[in-house]
Structure 1
């Protein structure tokens, strides 16, 4: 047992420790957004189940449709000096939620890119579930080691075609700071490496591995989660090196479909996640969007996704065959209002034109802080075990 008082200490949007009680409570808050439906037994594999939209999709599927499944993520255990990562604690609470709901969920802590992980996961799928109805792919990683070649690829946050400067949001002792951030141009190699990390190659390998083990159930479908976003963030995101990877992910869906696999990408709306908060300009954009319109939560969007994947609701596809959960964000009136706020934002008015206090709190909540009902002055147990399997 190791109890101590945990404080939010870090640099920028990265914190050194996470709060176990806060992370657990967030999982319960998320499940509380879900209205249960009468379940028919379905099974799912969620690759990237501990954070962001992957976590929301796991909780929504579990709580709404009683889905049984396996979740894969890569988290750090607690040490003598540091707590576990937030995703570790969220996973432990998600497993507890599944047990309370009488569902079968196993969580694997391993590198999703590794063939050894795929072997371990598929053994569990065969033993515990007998096959998979749905595969949700939600992986955001800074690097990837290709198990076939041994080569390490590194993703890059860079522009394509020309350098770019963007407004960006930072904080100094809790006070919002409006910055100008320069974005370098990606080389061809950096673009290719980013595609290798965040594109569709690994998603396709998961499908192939399941096919080779005959673990795709009749009616199987799969979806990889992606983002398009605003023209305001386009140069660093959709038209940048990350966008090249997202385009590859979407092309992978089309290739899988041609090969007889029911596959889509799901375009989710803006959210505050550990991955997105590191991207210049995204924090400012999301803060402005929240001020203008508010956000649909990842759980709300994940409910809509599950309703479509299970056939409860019709598919909402665009002309490119992508599921669109982001239409609320990209309407002309919303984007026009956000652009006006973006262009008018200065250091003097940033706290008025954008929801900066809300954004900083949301970032802290990613690590289990700023959660209502948690006593942050009390000691809390940090040695939380990874769920058994």
Structure 2
């Protein structure tokens, strides 16, 4: 007889509403990370020296992709930080399972790269992480900052700030994709009220450059910046079609602050010959971007235009590493690394705009790549991943990889 399944072993289904799922499938998350690893070319020989890297936001989106690309292509050592929830009444968050899979890759490759489950905004997290870096590596070569958070508690003041996704000045009306429980797709019109000055300021405090600057300053004060240290914060500009709520909205104000912080940090890093950049990545399906009204429709149309020419987060992260490790990164007139030129080229934007302005509820499945978008979105939670039997019970209560002691 087979032993009875553990209480935490069960069939996991994509429960949720809209673009927020409250369950994650561990096997699907593991396989998603394995597929990302498979996208990275294995170098012919190991690196002459393993760079030490600190990744803030290593469990999702471009932070995850940059971690995997760095592990496989550059043999990085270091620390990744994210804040994830363990299994309880529901499964753990997808980032929890993705981190387990990322840790397995690091172990398999012989990298001394560990993962901490902690609030990156907290001073205690900074102190503990820097203690660990000092003890195990003695210095840091790169810091990748990839944080998209709904709130931030400043432990120095005790104030909690909440970010909002709103336009500035006037309300914003756009069309968005909505998915019904029966998987039908609808084109809906949504209106978002404009942000107040307080909401804008709070969003800048959450998503701007203040915390990034604190991390770099803390490293400098501890003498952990190696000669030629480079740091990059990941950002997005996006299309004129979505600029009212993104680049010219509250998030755009935060991103502008991030870019001005890069300049101030570069001056600060002159003593070690270092440099701070922002990297303008192209569009991707992430949990953060799906929350922005109009962006799901835009990205689906973009994929409809580009098809398989739409680069994945891993492909773009490999380009980012190429830039970070180059003697002179290729930057624009504002000093930003640009990984979004494929998206913002005139022919691509003209083709997307034509579809954007002509799309109707009857033509949505013709002009937008709905199956791709749905699969990409659900794969964020470990669903719709090829090769996974979703009818088989799986263990959901899995431990976080052992965190090293500072």
Indicate whether the TM-score tops 0.5: yes
Residue 141 of structure 1 corresponds to 149
Residue 268 in structure 1 maps to residue 281 in structure 2 = yes
Please list every run of 5 or more consecutive structure 2 residues that lacks an aligned counterpart in the other structure: 1-5
Residue 122 of structure 1 corresponds to 130
What do you get for the CA RMSD once the two structures are aligned? 1.0
Residue 93 of structure 2 corresponds to 85
Deviation at 1:301, TM superposition (A): 0.5
| Cα displacement string for residues 233-276 of structure 1 (whole angstroms, at most 9, x for unaligned residues) | 00010000000000000000011112224100000000000110
Residue 97 of structure 1 corresponds to 105
1:300 paired residue among 315, 320, 337:
315
Where does 1:1-389 land on structure 2 (aligned, <5 Å)? 1=6, 2-37=8-43, 38-39=46-47, 40-79=49-88, 81-172=89-180, 173-259=182-268, 260=270, 261-294=274-307, 295-311=310-326, 314-389=328-403
What is the SS of the residue equivalent to 1:186?
coil
Deviation at 1:231, TM superposition (A): 0.2
Deviation at 1:36, TM superposition (A): 2.5
Kept in 2, the 8 Å contact 1:26–1:368? The answer is: yes
Deviation at 1:22, TM superposition (A): 0.5
Deviation at 1:213, TM superposition (A): 0.8
- Count of aligned pairs between the two proteins: 387
Kept in 2, the 8 Å contact 1:36–1:65? The answer is: no
What is the SS of the residue equivalent to 1:133?
strand
Query: What is the alpha-carbon distance in structure 2 between the residues aligned to residue 92 and residue 35 of structure 1?
Result: 22
Query: What is the alpha-carbon distance in structure 1 between the residues aligned to residue 96 and residue 105 of structure 2?
Result: 14
**Which sits farther off after the overlay, 332-341 or 178-187?**
178-187
| Cα displacement string for residues 43-65 of structure 1 (whole angstroms, at most 9, x for unaligned residues) | 10000000000000000000111
| Cα displacement string for residues 17-60 of structure 1 (whole angstroms, at most 9, x for unaligned residues) | 10000000111100100012331211100000000000000000
Please list every run of 5 or more consecutive structure 1 residues that lacks an aligned counterpart in the other structure: none
TM-score by length of 2: 0.94
| Cα displacement string for residues 334-361 of structure 1 (whole angstroms, at most 9, x for unaligned residues) | 0000000001111111011101121111
Query: What is the alpha-carbon distance in structure 2 between the residues aligned to residue 118 and residue 36 of structure 1?
Result: 32
TM-score by length of 1: 0.98
Runs of 4+ in structure 1 deviating by more than 4 angstroms, as ranges, are none
What is the SS of the residue equivalent to 1:293?
helix
Kept in 2, the 8 Å contact 1:269–1:329? The answer is: yes
| Cα displacement string for residues 125-170 of structure 1 (whole angstroms, at most 9, x for unaligned residues) | 1112221100000000001001111011111111112111111111
Query: What is the alpha-carbon distance in structure 2 between the residues aligned to residue 382 and residue 186 of structure 1?
Result: 39
Deviation at 1:217, TM superposition (A): 0.9
What is the SS of the residue equivalent to 1:235?
coil
